[in-house]
């Protein structure tokens, strides 16, 4: 059963997002080792403008409900919450990859130290959510109006600086979507509410968006590579920004439509538990891809990418269900009481999720 504190369409949209994120890593990770391009490369190529912006936009949708809380409680919910999972899974990932598999304790200590100031691996998303939450609170504290914040953030996104700091680079690339989600939340909620009872009209609008997005991404000049792609006209910074926001909103509308179907309950559940998948998918991904290539049984880039995608999503879910059943290890996916800095913090909800659901569950 759904929690009354949750909105099914939000979780469904996040389910779509986590599938796209894992798909990107599955396709590019496989392409890196096979040197080829598979059909999933083209699927993820279509989603390039909005794949990560959608996650950040959703994470900002519920910010207005928590941003005016006292600093201590806000920091507990919007900063410490994410840093707990970042630190925990950075230690696990670096310890396994560098400390155990590579047998390089010196390198492990170096990477652990660098992870404090440079977001580590795929966990950069969780790191940046904490940074974005802090930045938004500071803008609120100093009463900086949205009409100043958004144009500056949009200019940074279009400029796309490449400094030595990965954190600064990612801040410039994605903060605008987080803040736009915060500011545009009432419009997004009204749009989804309006389209849900009008499925045919919503589907027609989504079709038009998909055609336009696809034509601009795959217009002359695009280049598909084993690891990454170069978009066509969609690469022009102002157009890229526009397609990112449009695609993020489109996935919200699509989430609203899909959430009305009982057959899509699995996608809603996946979005509700997106944290489970996001923090843990890279380990089974690397192990399975390596084993599959070593066996020689599955070498086609497209089919191997699909298999890697399925294993990468299913494995963390199986681990979560096992932990839930045995009753030990939930600290991997739920923040324990000792990791709160606010004494009024509620006990962790039965299922943690990224990103908006975490804000939803903190409304009490």
- Radius of gyration for the chain, computed over Cα atoms and rounded to the nearest angstrom: 20
List, for residues 199-229, the tens digit of each pLDDT value: 999 999 999 999 999 999 999 999 999 999 9
pLDDT at 352 over 70: no
The mean pLDDT of 251-279, rounded to a whole number, is 96
Is the pLDDT at 4 greater than 50? The verdict is no
Mean pLDDT of all residues in 139-154 = 97
Tell me the HSE value of 264 on the side-chain side, using a 13 A CA sphere.
Answer: 19
pLDDT tens for each residue of 47-59: 999 999 999 999 9
**Portion of the chain with pLDDT greater than 70, in percent:** 93
CA separation (Å) from 26 to 44, 68, 104, 353? Answer: 10, 39, 26, 21
The whole-number pLDDT of residue 343 equals 72
| pLDDT band with cut points at 50, 70 and 90 for residue 344 | low
Average pLDDT value over all residues in the chain: 91
Please tell me the predicted confidence (pLDDT) of residue 315.
97
Residue 164 DSSP label: S
- 71 alpha-carbon distance from chain centroid: 25
């Amino acid at each position: 059963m759904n929690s009354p504190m949750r909105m099914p369409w939000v979780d469904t949209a996040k389910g779509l997002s986590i599938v796209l994120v894992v798909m990107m890593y599955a396709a590019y990770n496989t392409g890196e080792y096979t040197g080829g391009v598979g059909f999933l490369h083209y699927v993820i190529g279509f989603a390039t403008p909005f794949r990560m912006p959608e996650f950040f936009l959703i994470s900002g949708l519920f910010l207005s409900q928590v941003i005016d809380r006292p600093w201590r409680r806000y920091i507990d919910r919007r900063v410490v919450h994410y840093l707990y999972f970042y630190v925990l899974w950075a230690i696990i990932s670096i310890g396994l990859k560098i400390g155990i598999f590579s047998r390089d304790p010196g390198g492990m200590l170096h990477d652990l130290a660098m992870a404090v100031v440079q977001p580590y691996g795929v966990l950069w998303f969780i790191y940046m959510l904490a940074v974005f939450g802090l930045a938004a609170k500071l803008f609120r504290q100093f009463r900086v109006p949205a009409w100043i914040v958004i144009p500056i953030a949009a200019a940074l996104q279009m400029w796309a600086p490449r400094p030595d700091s990965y954190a600064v680079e990612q801040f410039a690339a994605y903060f605008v979507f987080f803040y736009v989600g915060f500011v545009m939340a009432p419009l997004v909620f009204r749009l989804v509410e309006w389209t849900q009872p009008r499925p045919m009209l919503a589907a027609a609008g989504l079709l038009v968006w998909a055609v336009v997005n696809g034509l601009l991404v795959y217009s002359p000049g695009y280049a598909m590579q084993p690891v990454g792609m170069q978009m066509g006209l969609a690469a022009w910074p102002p157009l890229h920004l526009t397609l990112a926001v449009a695609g993020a909103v489109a996935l919200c509308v699509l989430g609203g439509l899909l959430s009305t179907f009982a057959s899509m309950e699995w996608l809603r559940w996946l979005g509700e538990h997106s944290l489970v998948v996001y923090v843990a998918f890279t380990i089974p991904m690397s192990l399975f891809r390596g084993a599959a290539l070593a066996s020689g049984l599955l070498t086609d880039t497209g089919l191997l990418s699909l298999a890697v995608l399925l294993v990468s999503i299913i494995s963390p879910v199986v681990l979560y269900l096992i932990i839930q059943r045995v009753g030990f290890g939930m600290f991997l996916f739920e923040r324990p009481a000792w990791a709160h800095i606010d004494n009024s913090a509620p006990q962790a909800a039965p299922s943690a999720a990224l990103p908006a659901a975490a804000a939803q569950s903190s409304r009490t």
